[in-house]
């Protein structure tokens, strides 16, 4: 039986780009590199007209197999217009949210 390919920032980025037609995506592994906790910022025209809940359901459906294999997943979902407005307001800080972390890592994880 072949080993499963590990979940990485790049594999999640590629899956989102292919499946949701994202125009911008930032993924950060918050687990110290073991691929068990990720936070993300996802920008897609697919989110237009959808509530936050529907956006997250769309992402979760697109990453169903990947999310099933990790411990923690957090997503901030924006339309291209929302993203542009936020970038203008924040001066271009487009990093994913790091709420609940210590220096960008999940508390208690070495690495």
**Using an 8 Å Cβ cutoff, are 59 and 93 in contact?**
no
Kindly report, residue by residue over 34-58, the tens digit of the pLDDT: 788 999 999 999 999 999 999 999 9
Kindly report, residue by residue over 44-93, the tens digit of the pLDDT: 999 999 999 999 999 999 999 999 999 999 999 999 999 999 888 877 76
Given the structure tokens 């220096």, which residue do they identify?
Answer: 103
Report pTM.
0.77
| H/E run at residue 53 | helix 52-62
| H/E run at residue 76 | strand 72-78
Taking alpha carbons only, the member of 63, 46, 70 closest to residue 12 is 63
Q: What CATH number is given for 10-92 in this structure?
A: 3.30.300.90
All structural domains of the chain with their residue ranges: 10-92
| H/E run at residue 29 | strand 24-29
């Amino acid at each position: 039986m072949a080993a499963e390919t590990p979940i990485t920032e790049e594999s999640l980025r590629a899956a989102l780009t292919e499946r949701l037609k994202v125009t911008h995506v930032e993924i950060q592994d918050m687990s110290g590199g073991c691929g068990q906790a990720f936070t993300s910022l996802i920008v897609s025209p697919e989110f237009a007209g959808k509530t936050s809940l529907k956006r997250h359901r769309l992402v979760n459906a697109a990453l169903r197999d990947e999310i099933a294999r990790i411990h923690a997943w957090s997503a901030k979902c924006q339309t291209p217009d929302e993203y542009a407005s936020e970038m203008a307001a924040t001066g271009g800080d487009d990093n994913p949210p790091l709420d609940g972390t210590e220096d960008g890592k999940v508390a208690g994880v070495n690495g």
